[in-house]
Amino acid sequence: MAPGMTSIAQYAREKLAQLQALDLRRTLQVSERAEPPWVIRDGRRLLSFSCNDYLGLSQHPRVRAAAIAAIERYGVGAGASRLVTGNHPLYGELESRLARLKGTEAACVFGSGYLANTGIIPALVGADDLIVVDEYAHSCLNAGARLARARTITYRHNDVAHARAILAEHRRTHRHALVATDGVFSMDGDLAPLGELAEIARRHDAWLLADDAHGLGVLGNGRGSAFAAAAPADIPLHMGTLSKALGSYGAYLCADQAVIDLMKNRARTLIYSTALPPAMLAAAIAAIDLIAQDPAYAALPLSRARAFTALADLPPAASCVVPVVVGTAADALSAARLLEDEGFLVVPIRPPTVPANTARLRLAFSALHPEGEIARLAEIIKQRVTRR
C-alpha cells in the first residue's frame, strides 16, 4: 500500500474503537429460541422481553405445520422475483386476507418491512413532492424518504399541530404530499394520533402512510392500531409487517386497488428482489386465521403490559412495547446486565436507535409471559433500575 493510505481494516478498527469508547459498540449474540418467550444464550435459559413475537405464533404448532406443509409441497426458495416466476399461489390468499382485515380494496406483500417502506415511498412521491414525517418514525420510513428524494420535513413526535403547521406552510409549493408515521412507535410503545393525522392529511390534500408493525395482531381486535380507537382512522396507506405478532416474515401494504397495481409497476424493492419463500406466506396465513379465531388471546399482550406498568409505577402501557428510559448507554448496559443476572433477557437500546441520553430497556410483552415473572420483573425494575 502506498504511504499515507488507510487500509479498510484500519478504517474499520478506528470506527469500532470510537463506538467502544462511547459504549455504543454492538455485537451479535447467539440466541436460540426455546418455547416462547424463553431464549437460550450461552447455555442459559432466559425469559425474553426482547422478542416481538407477541403471541408466540412463530412457534405455534399450527403455524409451524402450515410452513412445513408448504415446504413439502413447494420447496424452500421462491426462485425469482414476484414479477418473474416467484408469484406463488399463496400470495393471492394472503393478500386477500390482509385486505379484508384492514378493510381495503387490495393488498401487496413485500419481502420485509424495510423493503416495503423503501419501495412504497419512492413509488408514490418524488423530487417535486413533500414528506412530513414524525421524528421518531422507524428507520425504514426515513430510508424510504431519502430514496424518494422528496423534500422531507420532520415534525415533533406525535405533535399534530406541528405537522399541520408544516403542511400549511409547505404543501402549496409541492405537487404531492405524504405524511408518514408509525402506528405504534417501536421504541416508545406509544400510539400515533392516527385519527387526527388522517384528518389534517385529508384537509391538506396529503396521503397518510401508517406503519403498523407493532399493532397488527395485538391492537384493535388484531386489526391493528388504526382500529384501536372507537372510530377507525381513515388511512389510505396501511403498511405493516408479518414478522412481529404474526411470527412469520415479510410485510404488506393495504390500499386501493390502483395503488396496489402501481406498487407492482413502480416499487423497486418488489420488482428487483426475490419473492418470499412460500413457507413464510403459509405461516402468515395460518397466523391471521388463529388471531381471527381468538381475539381474546390477541388482547393478552397489552393486558400483560398494563399489569407490568401498574406494578412498576410507570405510565400505563399503550401497546405491548414499554420503554424504561435509564439515561446513558452505560446505564442501559448495566441495567440489562442486572436483569440478566435475574434470569431476564432485556436487550438495551442505545443511540442512534433512540436519542442521546434516552438509552433504555425496551420491554416487549407477550401473551405467554407468566404473570408471576412479570410481577418479579416489575419489582426489580422499581427497586433497582428506576429508583437509582
Ligand X SMILES: *Cc1c(COP(=O)(O)O)cnc(C)c1O
Residues of this chain that interact with ligand X (CB under 6 A) are: 112-114, 138, 140, 182, 186, 211, 213-214, 241, 243, 251
Omega cis (within 30) before 348: no
d(CA 208, CA 304): 31
- Antiparallel, parallel or unpaired: β 344-345 and 44-48: parallel
Residue 380's contacts (CB-CB under 8 Å, 6 or more residues apart) are: 338, 339, 342, 344
Kindly tell me which of 113 and 217 has the beta carbon lying closer to ligand X.
113
Beta carbon of residue 51, minimum distance to ligand X (angstroms, whole number): 12
| C-alpha to C-alpha distances, 185 to 45, 192, 319, 344, nearest whole angstrom | 29, 7, 9, 23
Amino acid occupying residue 55: L
Ordered strands of the 32-33 beta sheet: 32-33, 38-41, 44-48, 344-345
Record the cell numbers describing residue 205, joined without a space: 390534500
Largest CA distance in the chain: 68
Beta carbon of residue 286, minimum distance to ligand X (angstroms, whole number): 18
The dihedral formed by the CA atoms of 20, 21, 24 and 30, expressed in degrees to the nearest 10 = 30
CB 244 within 8 A of CB 97: no
d(CA 292, CA 33): 26
Kindly tell me which of 106 and 242 has the beta carbon lying closer to ligand X.
242
Sign of the C-alpha dihedral computed for residues 243, 246, 248 and 249 taken in this order = negative
Query: In the bound complex, which residue of the shown chain has the CB atom lying closest to ligand X?
Result: 113
Beta carbon of residue 114, minimum distance to ligand X (angstroms, whole number): 4
What is residue 219's DSSP assignment? S
Beta carbon of residue 211, minimum distance to ligand X (angstroms, whole number): 5
- Active-site residue set: 186, 214, 244
Kindly tell me which of 204 and 225 has the beta carbon lying closer to ligand X.
225
d(CA 208, CA 277): 30
Beta carbon of residue 183, minimum distance to ligand X (angstroms, whole number): 8
d(CA 291, CA 298): 6
Kindly tell me which of 241 and 309 has the beta carbon lying closer to ligand X.
241
Q: Exposure string (b/e) for 243-258, b if CB count within 10 Å is 16 or more?
A: bbbbbbbbbbbbbeee
Beta carbon of residue 138, minimum distance to ligand X (angstroms, whole number): 4
Beta carbon of residue 243, minimum distance to ligand X (angstroms, whole number): 4
| C-alpha to C-alpha distances, 49 to 28, 302, 315, nearest whole angstrom | 17, 13, 18
Omega cis (within 30) before 370: no
Beta carbon of residue 68, minimum distance to ligand X (angstroms, whole number): 22
